[in-house]
Amino acid sequence: MELDGKAALVTGSAVGTGRETAFALARLGCDVTINYSKSSTEAEETAAEIERETGRRALCIQADVADDASVRNLVATHVKELGRLDVLVNNAGTTAFIPHNELDKVGEDDWDRILGVNLKGAFYAVRAGVDALREAKGAVVNVSSVAGVIGMGSSIPYCASKAALNNMTVTLARALAPEIRVNAVAPGFIDTRWFKQLDGYEVIKEMSADRAPLKRVCQPEDVAKSIVDLATSELITGQVLVIDGGMSLAG
């Protein structure tokens, strides 16, 4: 699928991987919607930079993807303003950093928020955009995690949410074919501010890189490139692409 003249919606795209994905799509000719929950300043800056650098339109729309009504408004506003929806990237995500063996530290609110954003949010966005995506013969790319493949990550609810997202990706690919393709990327450790809040961040990053056969961790640009590849590859659907430098091969 050629992207010139198309329109893309990237959830959670004020910063990090979402920001790089929005830039990558705009550079290839897409008008883009920058969605954010709380990072309004960063979202406005991202949109302004995209318009200045690429000449494409960049909207900023606030929405909590865990809220169905908010997502429906997000998608409706995107389609009204940009006229179409060719690419939906479900990038918005959240977690809680809880050691896996400390079960009592996992609260009901952790489950509700993590599943609400990481899993239900992706479903809400696809459901809200399905008519526009079908009309455009578009593509969905869900941003999952290697945590959903190997069961190692920031918390048990996070791993479970990403495993469920991987499964839902396959289910939606079957349900929405042939008009809509649905795939996912599953990055390993990404060098973004999300991980930089961790104590010992540099040590964890170095250990992750050392564990990977390719000896480096993901950068947001690496993930964005793979998202664009899946969005534009017309014979790929129902796939979960692991992007971790081979880290998961180490077991």
Q: Name the phi and psi angles at 177, rounded to 5.
A: -70, 155
Q: What is the tens place of the pLDDT at every residue in 6-31?
A: 999 999 999 999 999 999 999 999 99
Q: How far is CA 126 from CA 69, 165, 180, 195, 229, in A?
A: 13, 12, 10, 27, 19
Tell me what pLDDT residue 130 has.
98
What number is the average pLDDT over the span 71-91?
A: 98
Tell me what pLDDT residue 193 has.
63
Whether pLDDT at 198 is above 70: no
Q: Name the phi and psi angles at 240, rounded to 5.
A: -115, 110
Helical segments of the chain, H only: 16-27, 40-54, 68-82, 108-115, 121-136, 147-150, 156-176, 193-196, 201-211, 220-232
- As a whole number of angstroms, the distance between CA 62 and CA 40 comes to 8
Q: Name the phi and psi angles at 243, rounded to 5.
A: -125, 90
Tell me what pLDDT residue 24 has.
98
Q: What is the tens place of the pLDDT at every residue in 37-66?
A: 999 999 999 999 999 999 999 999 999 999
- As a whole number of angstroms, the distance between CA 166 and CA 172 comes to 10
Could you give all domains of the chain from N- to C-terminal order, each with its CATH number? Answer: 7-192+221-240 (3.40.50.720)
Tell me what pLDDT residue 158 has.
98
**Is 193 or 128 the better-scoring residue by pLDDT?**
128
Whether pLDDT at 195 is above 80: no
Q: What is the tens place of the pLDDT at every residue in 229-249?
A: 999 999 999 999 999 888 778
- Average pLDDT, rounded, for the chain: 93
Tell me what pLDDT residue 217 has.
78
> Where residue 191 falls among pLDDT bands split at 50, 70, 90?
confident
The answer to whether 44 touches 60, Cβ cutoff 8 Å, is yes
Whether pLDDT at 147 is above 90: yes
> Where residue 194 falls among pLDDT bands split at 50, 70, 90?
low
Q: Is 158 a catalytic residue?
A: yes
Whether pLDDT at 87 is above 70: yes
Measured N-to-C along each axis, helices 156-176 and 108-115 cross at an angle, to the nearest 10 degrees, of 30
The answer to whether 161 touches 148, Cβ cutoff 8 Å, is yes
